[in-house]
């Protein structure tokens, strides 16, 4: 479109002079720049850079309102709706919370998968079942080798569909429902094994080596089944060894059951092995601590923004008074760290091992609507003396670092002589009695 100029000849000459030397004319009132309309060159840009701007709360709110208005007006209702922008904003809010919390996390937490903050009601129900010691699936622990497309079965949980179907440790699963796993992402493998209760699947299993290897199909039906969280055994030194793999609502009863059994076998000292314990239910953790601590002893302090503070205290008569050692390592996390710290701060147990993971936050589930639940990492845990171990972990009374922890090779099998941390626990008991 041609535009006619009303400027005088000498004004045009001045503008040309200014253009050459890069000066800004101040002739009359400043005019708004012409709208850009055209095919713009490709330039690299990053929305994250903009979002790192140091804006006040009010400035950020004003920018949000302005941006939403422009997008609705200028993109067009045939492309984007108000609901689209609200859902996108929710995604951005959750991402912002994750990024801020990641900034407070240690390197081990950052290595874990990102949390899914909004889940369906069915997924939330499964998370609650996890804290109740129930699992939905086929009940196998495996190691995945994507280059070969093989799931190597490490463990089969007692009473699970895999156990009932005859799956054994050492078996290799090469396909599920006829579909192999060569170069498949881990999430695809998990999705193929997990599913709703009552849904069937067929596992193609290879067993044996070389010429004796056999290939056969195993039909299984996914189900909900209980998962035991404890292993226990009496060692030749009359030490009762008790390992916790997780903390769920049934764990306190399991611990008391195993301690009672070990006492009958002659145990007069106990090692509580929390190495590799993935944590779990904070209230279940408090129930375990209640067995070892006197009534009214503070187990953990929970600080939740918008809700308040709560001291969780022991309430039952102390059931276990024998000498105790707690074993921890770099993979002891969350509620398991809280248990070890409570026993340490109350001088109830001597702690041996490595500095723990340093995860002093817990999650909670908050309903959003009938079919959506917010999974929020908002509960901050503090020790009985009010200390947070976030990013630092528990510091053991006696540090003993090992390159590889020797774990039992089967259910109920105690650590052997190659387990340096366990042997230090036995030595501590012997020294304390001299």
pLDDT tier at 307, thresholds 50, 70, 90: confident
pLDDT at 286 over 60: yes
What residues pair up with 207 in beta bridges, in sequence order? 214
Mean of the pLDDT values across residues 111-132?
A: 73
What per-residue confidence (pLDDT) applies to 75?
76
Structure tokens at 139: 């009940």
pLDDT at 38 over 80: no
The better pLDDT of the pair 352, 9 is held by: 352
pLDDT tier at 184, thresholds 50, 70, 90: confident
Q: Are residues 184 and 251 in the same domain?
A: no
What per-residue confidence (pLDDT) applies to 42?
57
Q: Are residues 377 and 316 in the same domain?
A: yes
pLDDT tier at 64, thresholds 50, 70, 90: confident
pLDDT at 209 over 50: yes
pLDDT at 5 over 60: no
Is residue 321 assigned to a domain?
yes
pLDDT at 326 over 80: yes
pLDDT at 58 over 60: yes
Count CB atoms within 10 A of the CB of residue 335. 26
Mean of the pLDDT values across residues 147-156?
A: 85
d(CA 153, CA 205): 10
Q: Are residues 328 and 301 in the same domain?
A: yes
Tens of pLDDT, residue by residue over 190-205, are: 778 877 788 899 999 9
252-261 long-range contacts, CB within 8 A, separation 24+ = 252/284, 252/287, 252/288, 252/290, 252/291, 254/228, 254/229, 254/230, 255/230, 255/288, 255/291, 256/291, 256/319, 258/230, 258/232, 259/232, 259/291, 259/319, 259/320, 261/232
- Of 226, 254, 270, which residue is a domain's last? 226
Q: Are residues 220 and 246 in the same domain?
A: no
Q: Are residues 244 and 390 in the same domain?
A: yes
Is residue 11 assigned to a domain?
no
Phi, psi of 119 (to 5 degrees): -125, 165
Q: 181 lies in which domain range?
A: 136-226
The better pLDDT of the pair 141, 25 is held by: 141
What per-residue confidence (pLDDT) applies to 433?
65
d(CA 127, CA 371): 15
Torsion-angle region of 147 (φ positive above 0: left; ψ -120 to 50: alpha; else: beta): alpha
What per-residue confidence (pLDDT) applies to 117?
74
Is residue 56 assigned to a domain?
no
Angle at 372 between CA 370 and CA 374, to 5 degrees: 125
Q: Are strands 308-313 and 134-137 parallel, antiparallel or unpaired?
A: unpaired
The better pLDDT of the pair 369, 170 is held by: 170
Q: Are residues 167 and 304 in the same domain?
A: no
Count CB atoms within 10 A of the CB of residue 372. 13
Is residue 89 assigned to a domain?
no
Count CB atoms within 10 A of the CB of residue 131. 18
What per-residue confidence (pLDDT) applies to 426?
92
Mean of the pLDDT values across residues 66-72?
A: 81
pLDDT at 113 over 50: no
CATH number at residue 353: 3.90.226.10
Of 381, 364, 382, 383, residue with least CA distance to 373? 364
pLDDT tier at 265, thresholds 50, 70, 90: very high
Calculate what percentage of the chain has a pLDDT beyond 90.
40
pLDDT tier at 131, thresholds 50, 70, 90: confident
Count CB atoms within 10 A of the CB of residue 23. 10
Q: Are residues 382 and 424 in the same domain?
A: yes
Q: Are residues 209 and 241 in the same domain?
A: no
Instruction: Give me the number of domains the chain comprises.
Output: 2
Q: Are residues 402 and 309 in the same domain?
A: yes
Q: Are residues 254 and 399 in the same domain?
A: yes
Is residue 99 assigned to a domain?
no
The better pLDDT of the pair 405, 430 is held by: 430
Average pLDDT for the chain: 81
pLDDT at 216 over 70: yes
What per-residue confidence (pLDDT) applies to 414?
60
pLDDT at 343 over 70: yes
Tens of pLDDT, residue by residue over 140-151, are: 888 888 778 888
pLDDT at 3 over 60: no
The better pLDDT of the pair 244, 25 is held by: 244
What residues pair up with 304 in beta bridges, in sequence order? 308
Mean of the pLDDT values across residues 352-364?
A: 93
What per-residue confidence (pLDDT) applies to 434?
61
């Amino acid at each position: 479109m041609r535009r006619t100029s009303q400027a005088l000849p000498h004004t045009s000459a001045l503008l040309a002079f200014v253009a050459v030397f890069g000066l800004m004319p101040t002739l009359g009132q400043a005019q708004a720049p012409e709208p850009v309309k055209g095919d713009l060159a490709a330039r690299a840009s990053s929305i994250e850079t903009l979002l790192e701007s140091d804006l006040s709360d009010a400035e950020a709110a004003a920018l949000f309102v302005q941006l939403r208005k422009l997008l609705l007006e200028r993109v067009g209702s045939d492309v984007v709706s108000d609901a689209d922008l609200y859902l996108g904003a929710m995604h951005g809010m959750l991402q912002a919370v994750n990024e801020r919390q990641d900034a407070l996390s240690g390197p081990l937490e950052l290595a874990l998968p990102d949390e899914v903050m909004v889940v369906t009601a069915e997924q939330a129900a499964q998370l609650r079942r996890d804290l109740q010691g129930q699992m939905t699936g086929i009940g196998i622990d495996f190691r995945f080798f994507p280059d070969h497309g093989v799931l190597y079965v490490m463990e089969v949980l007692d009473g699970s569909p895999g156990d009932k179907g005859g799956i054994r440790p050492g078996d290799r699963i090469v396909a599920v429902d006829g579909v192999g796993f060569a170069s498949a992402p881990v999430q695809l493998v998990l999705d193929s094994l997990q599913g709703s209760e009552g849904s069937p699947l067929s596992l193609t299993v290879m067993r044996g080596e070389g010429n004796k290897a056999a290939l056969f199909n195993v039909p299984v039906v996914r189900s909900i089944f209980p998962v035991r969280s404890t292993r226990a055994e009496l060692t030749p030194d009359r030490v009762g060894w008790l390992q916790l793999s997780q903390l769920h609502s049934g764990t306190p009863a399991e611990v008391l059951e195993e301690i009672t059994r070990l006492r009958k076998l002659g145990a007069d000292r106990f090692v509580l092995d929390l190495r590799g314990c993935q944590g779990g239910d904070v209230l279940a953790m408090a129930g375990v601590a209640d067995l070892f601590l006197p009534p009214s002893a503070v187990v953990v302090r929970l600080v939740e923004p918008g809700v308040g503070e709560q001291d969780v205290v022991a309430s039952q008569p102390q059931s276990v008074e024998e000498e105790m050692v707690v074993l921890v390592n770099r993979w002891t996390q969350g509620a398991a760290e809280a248990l070890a710290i409570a026993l340490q701060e109350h001088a109830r147990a001597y702690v041996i091992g490595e500095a723990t993971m340093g995860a002093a936050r817990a999650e909670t589930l908050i309903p959003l609507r009938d079919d959506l639940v917010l999974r929020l990492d908002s509960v901050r845990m503090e020790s009985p003396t009010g200390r947070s171990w976030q990013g630092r972990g528990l510091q053991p009374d006696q540090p003993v670092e090992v390159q590889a922890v020797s774990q039992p090779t089967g259910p109920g099998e105690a650590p052997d002589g190659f387990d340096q941390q366990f042997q230090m626990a036995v030595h501590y008991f012997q020294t304390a009695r001299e």
